[in-house]
Amino acid sequence: MDREFADRVFDVFQTACAAVEWSNQNMRYVMCCFPLVGAVVGGLVWLAGMGLADLPVGPQLRTVLLVLLPVVLTGGIHMDGFLDTMDALAS
């Protein structure tokens, strides 16, 4: 994926998020979008997996790239909650 394409994809997501005026009244509907965001991220990871399957790379590198892709796409925001939970459980 080239840099220009990635910039366009991120611009679309930022524009869609910036177009909504968040208030206490409409923030309760944000959870309705979570499955859609998950489907988009999952679809992109699936497409990347199909693309990487044809490349002559080892399974370890392919796995690392596919694990890191959702972190890159979402900015790692889902990892924050996971790591907070792991920190709490370990302390």
The predicted model gives 24-48 an average pLDDT of: 83
- pTM of structure: 0.61
Least confident interval from 20-24, 65-69, 77-81? 20-24
User: At 19, is the pLDDT very low, low, confident or very high (cuts 50, 70, 90)?
Assistant: low
Question: Given this model, what pLDDT does residue 50 score?
Answer: 92
56 backbone dihedrals φ, ψ, rounded to 5°: -80, 65
